[in-house]
Amino acid sequence: MRRVLQPDERRAELLTASRAVFASRGYHASGIGDIVKRVGCSRGTFYNYFDSKREVFAAVLSEMMTEVVGVIEPIDVQRDIAEQVRANLERLVSAIMAEDVLRVLFSEAAGIDDEGDEALRSFYSGATQRIETALKTGQTLGVVRAGDTRLLARCLLGLLKEPVFQARLYNEPIDVHALSKELLSLISGGLLRPLQH
Amino acid sequence: MRRVLQPDERRAELLTASRAVFASRGYHASGIGDIVKRVGCSRGTFYNYFDSKREVFAAVLSEMMTEVVGVIEPIDVQRDIAEQVRANLERLVSAIMAEDVLRVLFSEAAGIDDEGDEALRSFYSGATQRIETALKTGQTLGVVRAGDTRLLARCLLGLLKEPVFQARLYNEPIDVHALSKELLSLISGGLLRPLQH
Amino acid sequence: MRRVLQPDERRAELLTASRAVFASRGYHASGIGDIVKRVGCSRGTFYNYFDSKREVFAAVLSEMMTEVVGVIEPIDVQRDIAEQVRANLERLVSAIMAEDVLRVLFSEAAGIDDEGDEALRSFYSGATQRIETALKTGQTLGVVRAGDTRLLARCLLGLLKEPVFQARLYNEPIDVHALSKELLSLISGGLLRPLQH
Amino acid sequence: MRRVLQPDERRAELLTASRAVFASRGYHASGIGDIVKRVGCSRGTFYNYFDSKREVFAAVLSEMMTEVVGVIEPIDVQRDIAEQVRANLERLVSAIMAEDVLRVLFSEAAGIDDEGDEALRSFYSGATQRIETALKTGQTLGVVRAGDTRLLARCLLGLLKEPVFQARLYNEPIDVHALSKELLSLISGGLLRPLQH
DNA sequence: AATGAATGAGACTTCATTCAT
DNA sequence: GATGAATGAAGTCTCATTCAT
């Protein structure tokens, strides 16, 4: 009945379980009970590793952040930029899809409580920051058109989030390749035909 | 103390109050108590008009939907299309901003429960449908480039949602005009400069 | 199963039950469950009337205070002072004995938590204040000897508390009359024989 | 990390730490964790030396008892009795003040649980016994007036406890000298002026 | 003898919903 | 139709104690 583990392992176990639980039921519908049942340990053990439900959620978030950001590769201006952007988008969407929790995050973002929202803010702030930096570099290189980079960064994030979110809402599969191509089209040429003078 | 009203008025009162409460606290943090206190009626009365918290949330959503969609005006191909799109976007963003509940919807969308998600699905389905129809018309007219309209519709929605969502998350004001212009730029020309062959 | 009462009655019921429960098990060992079981209502009902265990404890305290203080009668300087003091003491001890909760209060005074201790401070402050006022009046009338009234007030309270406390500790009955006489002796003549010059 | 000690040293260390912890937070608010953190050993070690929290509390109590009682010096009837009593009182109050745990004991005495109360009974029984013996001796010597010695002993204890208790409750400093003088006055002359015939 | 991860009962509290009045 | 007192399941979290190492 009692299974003694190294703290690191236990923590990892709990984190993995939390991720899965949050992913399948969302934040509010998940209980500590669901997490520990999955791990096969007691409630008390959970609270030896995390101070609160909020905290484990924040930890999951931060873990996600790291993993997802890792897939992005810097753009080499010497090579085909559009293709590199597309590849990055594809990897990004794949990573997001692979991480069910992120899909939860996209759908159930706020409304946890003040501190929970703080964790979210920091997550989004990190994500948007990165995009913004990339955009600014792009502008310097003359690859990205002028504009309010913060706003653009948020729009780009939205471009990515919404298809993922809705796919989850309707429980549809996502064709990662098709999505990344469509996103690239939008980014590189917009939606409207260049007809309208 | 006891105020007897026409059922319709009561229902409307409750709906308005619910909207305000959900808008200011989000779905999960709002309680039936907050709603009835605002209306000045009893809990029992609330349940005479709505079966559950979920149901009143769905009703609020549907009400919103109607109001927001109403601001969109059909595009007249004879006139400056880009400007008409911009104007529609501006009205749309304004409408959304005016309806705090929508902002809630954007941030705290899912995770209520299965039936709640159903309400959500119907909301998003309606919204996306409309955008999709518009896109298809645009394609027929040769104003919109080819592509998977459903996917594009979702992307467009994301483009709109995310800036609004993040502004709420950080409690920032939104410059409606600037946002609608930036959105138009993205839509009409994309993000990347046409340099990249 | 469901028993609907006027709020006042329910509150009174809960207060009475809380008093009894605290009295028999002390603060820490008492649970809300004990209280509601005694009343025959649900936990939820309890929380409709009191915000917390602490709050109901404070309410019990304040109720006690009122009842106990009520038994004290003002001293008439024209009549036999010692006898009046003794009678007051006797009534006081009787009242305290009648209120088991007070005996708890005397034994388990502090250590609830910061707010709980605040409630206690206010209880003791009230009690001591009254004694102090009486002492000052007595000094003015020349009936009470000079001295630090606050300190004296506390000492007097201790004189009263300790026998009651210990009687409870050993589960002994108290001979109210004997105690009040002994207390009077102490107050009027001290402990030591006047021999020692 | 692992520090192996003679059992006696370990036990002493734990006792000292427990005393400090109980003193600063009270019984209920103190946790085993606080104690072992202070000692720098593990929970398991604690339970090698004490069976329970209750037991360590009892041990602390008994240790206190010994130390405090030690300061009392026998009265020499040949010399100024009042002064000797006063000096004893002063040493006693000082000792109590020096031992914060005792102050805890005075405020949070009972309500631990049945066995905890047993420890308490034995503590109080010891203390009262000593006072009672002293009183009886005093009566034999004609220094102390007649009366129920057990009751008187408890009253005397109360006289001492309450000022200490309340000082702690309000977090006030104590003027040991002033207190011992006031106590002596009470003991030797009572509170009321000898006017009342 | 020492460690410290694990336990699990039980505490308080919340709130959507019900139903007697 | 309206009321609001009552419900109770479910939630989060604590902590004295155990026991595999």
What's the pLDDT tens digit per position in D40-71?
999 999 999 999 998 998 898 888 888 887 88
The shortest C-alpha distance from D67 to chain C (Å) reads: 22
* Max Cα-Cα span within chain B: 74
- C25, C61: one domain: no
What's at D102, amino acid-wise? L
pLDDT score of D1:
62
Would residue A67 count as lying in a domain? yes
Is the distance between the Cβ of A28 and the closest atom of strand F smaller than 7 Å? Answer: no
- C58, C45: one domain: no
Q: Indicate if the pLDDT at residue D110 is higher than 60.
A: no
pLDDT score of B197:
44
- A40, A62: one domain: no
- Token pair in block for residue D54: 């209750």
pLDDT score of C34:
96
Stretch A39-44: mean pLDDT, rounded?
A: 95
D93 contacts in chain C (CB < 8 Å): none
pLDDT-derived band at B109 (thresholds 50, 70, 90) equals low
C-beta separation of B39 from B17 below 8 A: yes
Q: Indicate if the pLDDT at residue C109 is higher than 70.
A: no
The model's pLDDT over C54-82, given as tens digits with 9 standing for 90+, comes to 999 889 888 888 888 888 888 888 888 87
pLDDT-derived band at A196 (thresholds 50, 70, 90) equals very low
- A71, A133: one domain: yes
- Across D114-194, the runs of DSSP E, i.e. the strands, are none
Nearest residue in D to C28, CA atom: D111
Would residue A195 count as lying in a domain? no
Whether residue A143 and residue B85 make contact (CB cut-off 8 A), yes or no, is no
Would residue D196 count as lying in a domain? no
Stretch B166-193: mean pLDDT, rounded?
A: 83
Would residue A197 count as lying in a domain? no
D contact chains, 3+ CB pairs < 8 A: C
- D86, D178: one domain: yes
Q: Indicate if the pLDDT at residue D3 is higher than 70.
A: yes
Q: What percentage of chain A has pLDDT greater than the value 90?
A: 26
Nearest residue in C to D111, CA atom: C26
The model's pLDDT over B41-81, given as tens digits with 9 standing for 90+, comes to 999 999 999 999 989 988 988 888 888 878 888 878 788 88
The shortest C-alpha distance from A13 to chain B (Å) reads: 24
Q: What is the pTM of this model?
A: 0.80
pLDDT score of C104:
66
- A26, A72: one domain: no
Is the distance between the Cβ of A44 and the closest atom of strand F smaller than 7 Å? Answer: yes
Nearest residue in C to D174, CA atom: C151
Q: Pick C106 or A89 by higher pLDDT.
A: A89
- A150, A107: one domain: yes
- A83, A163: one domain: yes
D179 contacts in chain C (CB < 8 Å): 151
**What is the Cα–Cα distance from D189 to D181, expressed in whole angstroms?**
12
Domain CATH code at residue B27: 1.10.10.60
Q: Which of residues 61-120 of D touch strand F (CB under 7 A)?
A: none
- Report the distance from CA of residue D23 to the C1' of nucleotide E4 in Å, as an integer: 26
Interface residue A109 vs chain B (CB under 8 A): yes
**What is the Cα–Cα distance from D12 to D60, expressed in whole angstroms?**
10
- D73, D119: one domain: yes
pLDDT-derived band at D197 (thresholds 50, 70, 90) equals very low
- Report the distance from CA of residue D116 to the C1' of nucleotide E10 in Å, as an integer: 20
- D89, D136: one domain: yes
The model's pLDDT over D137-185, given as tens digits with 9 standing for 90+, comes to 888 888 888 889 999 899 988 888 888 888 877 888 888 888 888 888 8
What's at C51, amino acid-wise? D
Interface residue A191 vs chain B (CB under 8 A): yes
Name C174's Cβ contacts closer than 8 Å, sequence gap at least 6.
C93, C97, C163, C164, C167
- B36, B129: one domain: no
Stretch C8-32: mean pLDDT, rounded?
A: 91
pLDDT score of C116:
67
Would residue B64 count as lying in a domain? yes
C-beta separation of D154 from C166 below 8 A: yes
The model's pLDDT over A62-82, given as tens digits with 9 standing for 90+, comes to 888 888 888 888 888 888 888
| Residue labelled with tokens 């001295």 | C147
pLDDT score of C7:
93
pLDDT score of B165:
80
- Report the distance from CA of residue A101 to the C1' of nucleotide E14 in Å, as an integer: 27
The model's pLDDT over A135-159, given as tens digits with 9 standing for 90+, comes to 888 888 888 888 899 999 999 888 8
Verify C-B touch: 3 or more CB pairs within 8 A. no
Would residue B156 count as lying in a domain? yes
**What is the Cα–Cα distance from B123 to B58, expressed in whole angstroms?**
9
pLDDT score of C102:
72
Name C159's Cβ contacts closer than 8 Å, sequence gap at least 6.
C183, C186, C187, D155, D158, D159, D162
Mean pLDDT computed over every residue of chain D: 83
pLDDT-derived band at D107 (thresholds 50, 70, 90) equals low
Q: What is the DSSP letter of D157?
A: H
- Token pair in block for residue D197: 């015939």
- Structural domain total, chain A: 2
| Pick from B111, B147, B196: CB nearest A27 | B111
Which residues between 69 and 98 in chain B have a beta carbon less than 8 angstroms from any beta carbon of chain A? Answer: 80-82, 85
Q: Which of residues 34-73 of B touch strand F (CB under 7 A)?
A: 41-45, 47-48
The shortest C-alpha distance from D89 to chain C (Å) reads: 14
Would residue D33 count as lying in a domain? yes
Q: Indicate if the pLDDT at residue D18 is higher than 90.
A: yes
End-to-end CA gap in chain A: 74
The shortest C-alpha distance from C114 to chain D (Å) reads: 11
Which nucleotide has the shortest C1'-to-CA distance from C35?
A: E12
- B32, B71: one domain: no
Interface residue D21 vs chain C (CB under 8 A): no
Would residue D197 count as lying in a domain? no
End-to-end CA gap in chain B: 74
Residue B171 is part of which domain span?
A: 58-189
Q: What percentage of chain A has pLDDT greater than the value 70?
A: 89
| Residue labelled with tokens 């609160």 | A52
| Pick from D26, D124, D128: CB nearest C110 | D26
